[in-house]
Amino acid sequence: HKPGKLVKAAVEKAVDKVTEMVNPPIPGAPNSEPPSLEEPTEPRGPLPPKHDQTGPETVSPTGAPTGAPKLTQGQQGEFLTTSAGARLHDTDHSLKAGERGPTLLQDHHLREKVMHFDHERIPERVVHARGYGAHGTFVGYGTASNVCMAGFLGDGVETPVFVRFSTVLGSRGSADTVRDTRGFATKFYTQEGNFDLVGNNIPVFFIQDGIKFPDVIHAGKPHPDREIPQAQSAHDTFWDFVSIHTEATHHVMWNMSDRGIPRSYRTMEGFGVHTFRLVNAEGETVLAKFHWKPKLGVHSLVWEEAQLAAGFDPDFHRRDLADAIESGAYPQWELGLQIMPDNPQQTFEGIDLLDPTKIVPEELAPVQPVGVLTLNRNPQNYFAETEQVAFHLGNLVPGIDVTDDPLLQARLFSYLDTQLTRLAGPNFNQIPINRPHVPVNDMLRDGFHQQAVHAGVAPYRPNTLDGGNPFVAKAGDRPLVEVAQPLPRAVKVREAPKSFADHFTQPRLFWQSLTPVEKEHVVNAFTFELGKCYEQAIKERQLLVLANVDPVLCAEVAKGLGLPVPAKAKLRKVTPSPALSQLGQTWPTDGRIIGIVVDPADLDGVRTVRETVLAGGMVPLLIAPTGGPLGDSGLIAQRTFFTARSIEFDALLVAGNATATGATLMIQECFRHSKAIGAWGTGRTAVEAAGCGTGPGIVIDDDPSKVLSEVTTLLGAHRVWDRFPPVIG
């Protein structure tokens, strides 16, 4: 080894000399290296992935050869390598002709690193770009077996799922709490292939025919000249469109109601919107609508909270979901079915089931629970899972078929097509998050980003060369069912059925079913959004639309806009559907967040209350003037008066800090937002000093446990609505 060492030393010396010649020392430059921050210098063994962070089990016979390393782990191997696997000795300096010289074209590591970085972003979804996902399980109750043969609905059958929630209009970096419809898309990795239920938190849609989708989205997205406003419907083009296309009225009523600003993904209902056709083992069919019912009840923000959160914590909803799952407060929804007979007209009680702007009131067709969804695992990597997941209504399983709803039919084209650009090729179902958990034997071949090394020579059917494989399934092998639906003798037309022309009965039904406080919120939302429009004609046209929904609604909005009330329209009589209101019941308080303003003089009392909150399945957050440990109590201040805002808490307990301005602000906001407020000790003075000492939902007592118990009861109803009785009857 000696000669080799000598040669190496000589080469190093020569290089040093040349370097010194090329890079003469800079006068005044420090000649000693700055002290380096301590960091690991030796390779460490791979860190085991956190228990709750392993990727979904993926089974794909077209995937990587058996035994190949899982590509789902990052920052864990011993040595940094190139993408071709060669070990690197430096990743902080590009290869240059001397320390201060030009960079060399031959620096493959530099080029690969920057090239890959340049292409890290993929096009965001054209709609629903802003979203957040979670893994979970779905367990069937077996109660659907008389109408649907789908295996995953069977009694006790457990199916892994991935759910992605989203807003519709905003870009990927927009705020969570804007007024908008929310997406609620679920991928069930069933034993019969993937079933995707791609729904929204509003049971009807803007338009009746998919051909108008580009129009409604162009109208809702920012104006093309200045690209504003972001993630808003409060602008001229949106209201221009919906005031002309009055079929949008029903959806708009829901948007302007509290449904447009959910408190949390955990407190949203979900709807499949379209009518589907279900098939049982005997081949009998029914028409059905899918519903997700949150175990925590439907609960929304108030408008001021939504606005505050958009600035104070734009990630409000994704943080809420991730935190709830991490804290073990797993959100749950029951899947329910409304079942209607499959008659040739495809109507139910006079409601056209192919019209996606119509609901079937639950009082006419009750929602029958068929299973429960639990979200219990956060994604390991946002991009790999939440961004790359690709939903498609065409992913059906035996027992579930589509109907001729013209909106649904257009979607069946769109969701495949859009992935070609978004995920850059036709092989997106091979991305881990999209892979089914059952064997794939397709005859799809090649294409960009093909992951499989297909064997065999005969990817066609029938064949003899590959032993005839694969074969098509016979009736007993549970293939997909395409119901042989008789079609009327028809001529090709670009027309809608007559029944699609009724645009106002159901918006009126919705309005009439709301409680006074919910109605007041609808009035305020219309007044805000239309008030943001510049064009007088658009506001006036929308008032004409509202006159067809309800005279009180129309008059109140007109008053707010300072415009004349249009003449009364002829209105249909409707029977209200109490199920459409989100108030009036009580719900479990699991995972609800209780802010506790601590009293430094009574940390033992604070500890007891905190523990009781935890024991009750809720999440306590301690708020103090400054962060860090609270004395030597072992308690930590999780929020300070600088980092907390009332929006984060479902109820506030005030133990102390009577004089702090931050506390006063929080108390006043909670009061305005009709949240329960409890106080004891010096907290009583704080609440009184904030001017919030009396009124419904203010619980002041010397006994903290009594305060907490009353506040918890109030939380069951979500908010203390009778603090500010609404003026609209």
Q: Which residues make up each annotated binding site?
A: 125, 164, 213, 411, 415, 422
Report the residue number whose CB is nearest to ligand HDE.
183
How many residues in total does the chain contain?
729
Structure tokens of 354? Answer: 């192919």
Q: Using alpha carbons, list the distances in angstroms from residue 217 to 131, 186, 389.
A: 17, 23, 22
Alpha carbon distance 168, 127 (integer Å): 5
Alpha carbon distance 56, 71 (integer Å): 12
Residues 415-434 close enough to bind ligand HDE by CB under 6 A: 415, 418
Sole window of 119-127, 327-335, 362-370, 573-581 interacting with ligand HDE (rule: CB under 6 A): 119-127
Binding of residue 411 to ligand HDE (CB under 6 A): yes
CB 297 within 8 A of CB 718: yes
Q: Which is nearer to ligand HDE, 213 or 641 (CB)?
A: 213
Least Å distance, CB 386 to ligand HDE, is 8
- Other Cβ atoms less than 10 A from the Cβ of 258: the count is 25
List, in sequence order, every residue forming a beta bridge with 193; answer none if it has no partner: 190, 191
- Other Cβ atoms less than 10 A from the Cβ of 468: the count is 11
Binding of residue 681 to ligand HDE (CB under 6 A): no
Binding of residue 390 to ligand HDE (CB under 6 A): yes
Of residues 613, 679, 536, the one with CA closest to residue 243: 536
Pattern 558-597, ligand HDE, x by CB under 6 A: ----------------------------------------
128 part of the active site: yes
Least Å distance, CB 131 to ligand HDE, is 5
Of residues 649, 641, 595, the one with CA closest to residue 309: 649
CB 229 within 8 A of CB 527: no
Binding of residue 213 to ligand HDE (CB under 6 A): yes
Sole window of 136-144, 193-201, 491-499, 618-626 interacting with ligand HDE (rule: CB under 6 A): 193-201
Binding of residue 185 to ligand HDE (CB under 6 A): yes
Least Å distance, CB 435 to ligand HDE, is 16
Q: Which is nearer to ligand HDE, 172 or 672 (CB)?
A: 172
DSSP string, 553-608: HHHHHHHHHT-PPPPPPP-------GGG-S-S-----TT-EEEEE--GGGHHHHHH
Residues 316-375 close enough to bind ligand HDE by CB under 6 A: 356
CB 375 within 8 A of CB 270: no
Structure tokens of 92? Answer: 């902080």
Q: Which of 135, 194, 200, 201 is catalytic?
A: 200
Q: Which is nearer to ligand HDE, 410 or 444 (CB)?
A: 410
255 part of the active site: no
Alpha carbon distance 95, 699 (integer Å): 68
Binding of residue 291 to ligand HDE (CB under 6 A): no
Alpha carbon distance 360, 348 (integer Å): 8
Binding of residue 199 to ligand HDE (CB under 6 A): yes
Of 306, 407, 538, 598, the residue at the interface with ligand HDE (CB under 6 A) is 407
Annotated binding site for heme: 125, 164, 213, 411, 415, 422
Least Å distance, CB 318 to ligand HDE, is 13
Alpha carbon distance 195, 187 (integer Å): 6
Binding of residue 200 to ligand HDE (CB under 6 A): yes
Of 147, 148, 153, 198, the residue at the interface with ligand HDE (CB under 6 A) is 198
Of 189, 391, 526, 641, the residue at the interface with ligand HDE (CB under 6 A) is 391
Structure tokens of 94? Answer: 């590009």
Alpha carbon distance 423, 714 (integer Å): 47
Q: Which is nearer to ligand HDE, 301 or 390 (CB)?
A: 390
Least Å distance, CB 199 to ligand HDE, is 5
Sole window of 28-36, 135-143, 357-365, 412-420 interacting with ligand HDE (rule: CB under 6 A): 412-420
Work out whether the CA dihedral 44, 49, 55, 59 comes out positive or negative.
Answer: positive
| 410 three-state secondary structure | helix
Q: Where are the alpha helices (DSSP H) in 64-136?
A: 108-118
Binding of residue 519 to ligand HDE (CB under 6 A): no
Of 164, 187, 675, 723, the residue at the interface with ligand HDE (CB under 6 A) is 164
Of 58, 159, 166, 338, the residue at the interface with ligand HDE (CB under 6 A) is 166
Catalytic positions, written as ranges: 128, 200
Site of interaction with ligand HDE (CB under 6 A): 125-128, 131, 164, 166, 183, 185, 198-200, 205, 210, 213, 273, 356, 389-391, 407, 410-411, 414-415, 418
